[in-house]
Structure 1
Amino acid sequence: MTSEKTGRDDVLGDVCGHAARLISAADPRLHRLSIRTGDIAVELEWSPAASPAAGPQGALAAPARYALAEPESCAAAGRDSLHHVCAEMVGTFYSAPEPGAEPFVAVGDEVRAGQQIAILEVMKLMTPVAADRAGRVVEVLVPDGTPVEFGTGLIAVDTSAQALTTPG
């Protein structure tokens, strides 16, 4: 029984990994992803403004069953040097590696491109969130443990040269 559960967990992990790659490669108007493990199925749905042909080849749009709330805008308003690191998938945002631990980053910390700054939990899989630009953290936009959608701004980073040369 344990090996059967391990096998299912391995399959589920593989499916989630492939789903994450589908989401990151999909048209930004991807509206919903549904994964089932019994007889494994993956369904992608694009927003009504996007036709199924706009999605990746071979992916079929599923019929609309749920209305999802629009994510917060990921565009950083105001300063040109302000950049938001955004959720690349639907999941739960965690600012620290485990409960009670220090957060990966705090306001005032300097980050480099590729540095892990948070975690998104997706179906019990912990997916690292990395800074996509160097800069200084000016705000954590989402409280720890908050469910987020694709495109939700997570952490605001000042990418100006001054932010990188000024101590936090």
Structure 2
Amino acid sequence: MTSEQAERNGVLDDVCDHAARLISAADPRLHRLSIRTGDIAVELEWSPAAAPAAPAAEPAGALAAPARHGLAGPEPCEATGRDALHHVCAEMVGTFYTAPEPGAEPFVAVGDEVRAGQQIAILEVMKLMTPVGADRAGRVVEVLVPDGTSVEFGTGLIALDTSVQAIGTPG
């Protein structure tokens, strides 16, 4: 095997590993994942049905989902203790970042008031930076996951106190 073939096989192994992680943590409505290596492309197709489809039979040699070692375990995304406490949760598997770039100020800090839809973090998935927005208004009570940590779908990222008067609403 030439070094070029070994390098290609290594890249393919990495892509397959990432794809298996994506599939294992994806929303159950994920219908199809297509990966191409020529000019690299990843396609995800979501089923419109709310109920997950029965799993298809795996062809011989199919990839097994890897163990989730090193990923942050899901924090509950419902109220914990105080009725007005809400967790903004990861909508995908990825690496959680609190700031737009290393060394920059974080999007939010404990005590900040946020509006619904305001960007509060980033999730990186396969070099794609996806904004994380607050799904409701409130005051940041706690950042639940350290910056740069790998997280699973559904992991609580930031705790908001939603009893705070929403920004921009008449009081």
Asked if TM exceeds 0.5, the reply is yes
Aligned to 1:37: 36
Which whole-Å CA distance do the structure 1 matches of 2:34 and 2:108 have between them?
32
Q: 88, 91, 95: which is aligned to 2:91?
A: 88
The runs of 5 or more residues in structure 2 that have no matched partner are 1-18
Aligned to 1:66: 66
- Residue 103 of structure 2 corresponds to residue 104 of structure 1: no
Specify the code of the residue in structure 2 equivalent to 1:97: P
- Residue 132 of structure 2 corresponds to residue 135 of structure 1: no
1:67 positional shift: 3.5
CA 114–65 in structure 1, closer or farther in 2 if over 3 Å, else same? closer
Please tell me whether the aligned partners of residues 94 and 125 of structure 2 are also in contact (alpha carbons under 8 angstroms): yes
* DSSP 3-state at the match of 1:137: strand
Please tell me whether the aligned partners of residues 43 and 61 of structure 1 are also in contact (alpha carbons under 8 angstroms): no
- Residue 110 of structure 2 corresponds to residue 113 of structure 1: no
CA 34–73 in structure 1, closer or farther in 2 if over 3 Å, else same? farther
The ranges of structure 1 where at least 4 consecutive aligned residues each deviate by more than 2 angstroms after the TM superposition are 33-44, 59-76, 161-164
- Residue 52 of structure 2 corresponds to residue 55 of structure 1: yes
Which whole-Å CA distance do the structure 2 matches of 1:114 and 1:71 have between them?
22
Which whole-Å CA distance do the structure 1 matches of 2:139 and 2:146 have between them?
19
* DSSP 3-state at the match of 2:96: strand
Higher fraction of helix: 1
Q: TM-score, normalised by structure 2?
A: 0.62
CA 35–82 in structure 1, closer or farther in 2 if over 3 Å, else same? farther
* DSSP 3-state at the match of 1:154: strand
C-alpha distance after superposition, 1:24-75 (max 9, x if no partner) = 5x45xx8xx976433767699xxxxxxxx94259x84766433436523223
* DSSP 3-state at the match of 1:76: coil
C-alpha distance after superposition, 1:120-157 (max 9, x if no partner) = 00000000000000000000011111110100000000
Which whole-Å CA distance do the structure 1 matches of 2:57 and 2:151 have between them?
22
Counting matched residue pairs gives 132
Q: TM-score, normalised by structure 1?
A: 0.63
Which whole-Å CA distance do the structure 2 matches of 1:79 and 1:61 have between them?
45
The runs of 5 or more residues in structure 1 that have no matched partner are 1-15, 45-52
RMSD: 3.7
Specify the code of the residue in structure 2 equivalent to 1:120: L
CA 102–67 in structure 1, closer or farther in 2 if over 3 Å, else same? same
* DSSP 3-state at the match of 2:105: coil
* DSSP 3-state at the match of 2:160: strand
